[in-house]
Structure 1
Amino acid sequence: MLDLISITSLPVFLLIFVRVLAFFVTMPLFSYRTVPLPFKIGFSFFLAMIMFYTVDASQLVVDEMYIFLIVKEVLVGVLIGLISFIIVSAIQVAGGFIDFQMGFAIANVVDPQTGAQSPLTGQYLYMIALLFLLAVDGHHLIIDGIFNSYRFIPLETFIPFQNNSIAEFVITAFNSMFIIAFQIAIPIVGCLFLVDVALGIIARTVPQMNVFVVGLPLKILVSFLAILVFLALYVTLARNLFTAMFETMRGLMQLFGGA
């Protein structure tokens, strides 16, 4: 190991390792509890070892500011992974919209991957999206994204937090996340709205019918049929979601690099 990474180059390797490890802490798919912690550390170590020979660290000076460079690397890895996790969370938000209309909002489940409560429909759509991401080798693009981050954010530079465009960019990312969530949920929510309108008309024309007893099973049946019909549209929206995630990661890295 000492032949591969000398003692003099150890500070450079440590900076690379810290950014990669912090990236995997918050990045979707790699940050889940189902992935063992030793695997995350080991994978980050070997990936940092590979990237060590490709990252330009000729301008890096190890001095009293080195500890702040380590903190900067942690922030870069965590924030890039976090912004991508926020974009992917649009699926859970869309599932919450759908479950609220279906009547499943009270039946949330604990997601074993994140340890948080998530809606039933959102968890179902989220698993399909992750399988789609793996099927198109999206996890390779995620790793390629952390590799290309050194082109935008060199090791020796700091993040210009005084730049107001970073806050605007994060707000725009939140906005796009809710727009994508609305696009995913609107076909099913729209169908359930029409069911509610039909049940309201029946309640006014046929007062003897108990629409509360008939309405809930009917809405569940219609929602399942709508999910089955619009599943092909959902795959297209999932592709747009991951495209937006990669573009958001790239834009945030450009802002961190001062571009």
Structure 2
Amino acid sequence: MGDRYEERASRLDGAKVWTLTVPQGSVHPVLPDGCMDLLWIDGRLLVAGPDTRAEAPSGSGGGSYAGIRFAPGTAPALLGVPAHELRDRRVALADLWPAALVGELTERVAGAADPAAALEDIAVHRAADTGPPDAAMRSVAAQLDSGRTVAQTAQSVGLGARQLHRRSLYAFGYGPKTLARVLRLQRALALVRAGTPYAEAALLAGCADQAHLAREMRDLAGTTLTGYFGDRGPSAPDPPGTR
């Protein structure tokens, strides 16, 4: 029996609520996706920052995990911390929020029949008490994900190169060029997962050719397309990993 991954749209705009059950001995890398997650792992509340490289599997002991994955650029306002401070890191929520509050929230999730729904409640209630995410950066993420260039996107939102880079660091954890690469790779993976041949997926995702996609896969994921999909096959679900 393989990994069992399920996700649904959240009440929080753009977010996804997910659960993952991993049998003992099953491991897989976590690839960059431009997002940040609030996680429930082994009775702890953790935050997964934005990745610039594949995250090594956390182990092969198996288990059940839950999380809420925030849309690119939305987590900093909710968490109260710039995304670049969490880049390529997994940190305890208690390192970001008051320990007493996190203790109460931990008890709440631990006692919930549906930990994923409890995580969603935390995020929704927190969002109601914080300022909205940077609307310009939401637009930047959407435009880059549609395949627009960084220059076109900057002009569209009325930002110069330096200002766009600075605000991108806060919102996404890295500059717009890196975000564009990450989102393009995810588009290619989604196409391959749906059965599109590698060469066609590369072009549709915005790569120059299949060799370009292969280089991006190696640089950002540390593997090849064939190596990544492996025995699961391209059509298998792609869980976010246990972070």
Of structures 1 and 2, the larger Rg is shown by 1
Asked whether the two chains share a fold, i.e. TM above 0.5, the reply is no
From the two aligned structures, give the one with the greater strand fraction.
2
Under TM normalisation by the shorter chain, which class is it? under 0.3
From the two aligned structures, give the one with the greater helix fraction.
1
